[in-house]
């Protein structure tokens, strides 16, 4: 049996997951990364995308809009701005997120324009991963 680590996903509304996992893939700001048992400590911002939790033959996915992930002591903690189960994500939801991000970009102060544009582009890129 493969070694496991503890995984926890929390959003402001609720705790979505607290389980053991063999691997957790995270949409980090610099690209996707996969944490496994005995991973080096790491902290990253999240971009919009799927957090995928694998254990044995099962796989669970959660859509996050942003936040932070910390890997330490065989634990992956994801603190998401917003998170929902992967099977509840559809094109209409992501199109709404794109519209909100466009408004946020238009209203951003000069110092926040670049970050707002990055988030908008991340949502646009993610739209291609969503069916129906």
Residues 19 and 58 in one domain: yes
Residues 99 and 47 in one domain: no
Q: What is the CA 11 to chain-centroid distance, rounded?
A: 11
- Res 37: pLDDT: 93
Residues 79 and 37 in one domain: yes
Quote the Cα angle for 115-119-120, to 5°: 115
Residues 69 and 100 in one domain: no
Residues 53 and 32 in one domain: yes
**Average pLDDT rounded to a whole number, residues 98-105:** 96
Q: CATH number, domain at 61?
A: 2.60.15.10
- Res 129: pLDDT: 82
pTM: 0.90
Residues 25 and 53 in one domain: yes
In a domain, 102, yes or no: yes
- The parent domain of residue 50 ranges over 5-86
**Average pLDDT rounded to a whole number, residues 87-95:** 94
- Res 128: pLDDT: 84
Residues of the chain above pLDDT 70, percent: 98
Residues 10 and 55 in one domain: yes
**Average pLDDT rounded to a whole number, residues 19-48:** 95
**Average pLDDT rounded to a whole number, residues 49-72:** 94
Residues 80 and 97 in one domain: no
The DSSP result for 13-60, as a single string, is S-EEEEEEESEEEEEETTEEEEEETTPPPEEEEE-SEEEEEEETTEEE
Buried b (16+ CB within 10 A) or exposed e, 85-123: eeeebeeeebeebbeebeeebeebeeeeeeebeebbebb
Q: What is the CA 18 to chain-centroid distance, rounded?
A: 15
């Amino acid at each position: 049996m493969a070694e496991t680590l503890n995984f926890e996903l929390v959003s402001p509304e609720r705790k979505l997951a607290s389980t053991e996992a063999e691997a957790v893939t995270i949409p980090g700001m610099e690209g996707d990364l996969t944490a496994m048992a005995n991973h080096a400590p790491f902290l990253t911002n999240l971009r919009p995308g799927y957090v995928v939790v694998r254990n044995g033959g099962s796989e669970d996915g959660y859509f996050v809009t942003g936040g932070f992930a910390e890997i330490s002591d065989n634990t992956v903690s994801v603190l998401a701005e917003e998170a929902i189960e992967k099977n509840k994500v559809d094109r209409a939801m992501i199109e709404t997120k794109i519209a909100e991000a466009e408004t946020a970009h238009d209203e951003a102060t000069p110092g926040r324009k670049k970050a707002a544009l990055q988030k908008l582009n991340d949502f646009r890129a993610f739209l291609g991963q969503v069916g129906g």
